[in-house]
Each structure stands twice: as structure tokens, then as C-alpha cells.
Amino acid sequence: MTADLLARRVTDLFAPQVLVIGMPPAVGFLAQGWTGAAWGLFASVLCGGVPAAVIAAGVRSGRLDSHHIVDRARRTGPLLSAVAAVVLALVLLIALGAPTLLVATVTAMLAALAVTVPITLRWKISFHAAVCAGTAVVLAHVLPPAPTALFGGLVLALVCWARVRLAHHTLGQVLAGAMVGMLTTWGTLAAFGLTT
């Protein structure tokens, strides 16, 4: 396998929409079994499914270059739809009495968007790196922290390498994305009293 092919596969496998759809049910299941998984699925449909559908429609119509939205100038509409979907998910999760960990996870998504969306309007920060880093932080809360952080760091490094290798981001853009994802997620979990 060539380096470029590997980078494309890593980019697709760890795309933000893939992680945002897959992570909440997994976290919910690990924290509270099937009931938690059901809450997580509800969150993932809104937080990941709705934006993914908007992006897919944009790609089909030719307005977007790909589901990775490489052209920064085309990111605004899909990102605003993502913000709206995450806000709706958060309101519904709170109103329906969802588990605290899932409310905190969705709040962390919103916090990361609150930082990355304004930045990407001027500078192409990496959403791949931000979401991957945030996912690693949440998973380290429900899995053994040290090995999860180590594995998550290795995956994050691979994702950052792939984005730079494909010339979709600079090293600074992936590092900034990783820091935003890590800090906003950790800070949100701490605000909910979920860190030690």
C-alpha cells in the first residue's frame, strides 16, 4: 500500500462524521450498557447523521468537493448545520433526562465547534484532528485511561500525518485542531465533574 493510499484510508476511517456517529453509542454502552447505547444512538443521529446528510447532499449537488470539504470557503453552511444539530441534540438530551456523560459529550462537541468554526472562517484548522482528539479524551473516561490515551495518541498522530500527507492541512493546522479538541473536551468533562 502506498503512503498516499494509506493516508486516504486513514482520512476516511477517522473522518469527523464517522467518529461523531460512532462514538456516542460506544461511550453510552461502555458507561451504562444498552440503555446508554440507545441514548448514544439518539445523540449520534442528530450530531453526526444530520450534518453527514447535509454534506452528502452538497457533494451530490456539486456544491461541495467531497465529504471532507477540502475547500475551506465551502465549509460555512455545513458547519452551521452541524452547530444547529448539536444544539438541538443537547436541548433534547437535557429535556429528556439523558445520562450526564452523554450530555457532557455533546456539550464538548458544541464547545469544540464554538472554537473551530470561527477559526476555520479565516484559517483551515483541522476538524479531523479536533474530533479525533476529543474522541480519545472521552474514551479515556470510560476505558482504562493510560492505555486508551496512548492508543488514542497514536491514532491522532496517524490522522494528523494523513491530513498533512494529502496536503489538506499544514502541520500547524492539525496541531491546532488536536489541541482544541483535547482541551475543549477535557475542560467540558471537568466542568461536569467527570474528570479526576
Distance, in Å, from the CA atom of 145 to the CA atom of 57, rounded to the nearest integer, reads 38
**At residue 106, does pLDDT exceed 80?**
yes
Across 5-9, 76-80, 87-91, least confident range:
76-80
The predicted pLDDT at position 196 comes to 58
**At residue 189, does pLDDT exceed 90?**
yes
The residue among 72 and 2 whose pLDDT is bigger is: 2
Average of per-residue pLDDT across 186-192: 95
The predicted pLDDT at position 56 comes to 83
For the segment 129-174, what is each residue's pLDDT rounded down to a tens digit? Answer: 999 999 999 999 999 999 999 999 999 999 999 999 999 999 999 9
The predicted pLDDT at position 13 comes to 95
For the segment 49-86, what is each residue's pLDDT rounded down to a tens digit? Answer: 988 888 888 888 888 777 777 777 787 888 888 899 99
Q: Which of 20, 196, 18 is nearest to 105 (CA)?
A: 20
If one counts every other C-beta atom within 10 angstroms of the C-beta of residue 186, the result is 19
The predicted pLDDT at position 58 comes to 83
Distance, in Å, from the CA atom of 124 to the CA atom of 105, rounded to the nearest integer, reads 24
For the segment 14-32, what is each residue's pLDDT rounded down to a tens digit? Answer: 999 999 999 999 999 988 8
Question: Which residue pairs, CB below 8 angstroms and at least 24 apart, start in 86-94?
Answer: 86/46, 86/47, 86/110, 86/113, 88/46, 89/42, 89/43, 89/46, 89/47, 92/42, 92/46, 93/39, 93/42, 93/43
Q: Is 54:78 a contact under the CB 8 Å cutoff?
A: yes
Distance, in Å, from the CA atom of 173 to the CA atom of 165, rounded to the nearest integer, reads 13
- Cα angle for residues 157, 65, 174 (degrees, 5° grid): 20
The predicted pLDDT at position 66 comes to 74
**At residue 10, does pLDDT exceed 70?**
yes
Q: How far apart are the first and last CA of the chain?
A: 42
The residue among 87 and 196 whose pLDDT is bigger is: 87
The type of residue at 80 is: L
The predicted pLDDT at position 174 comes to 98
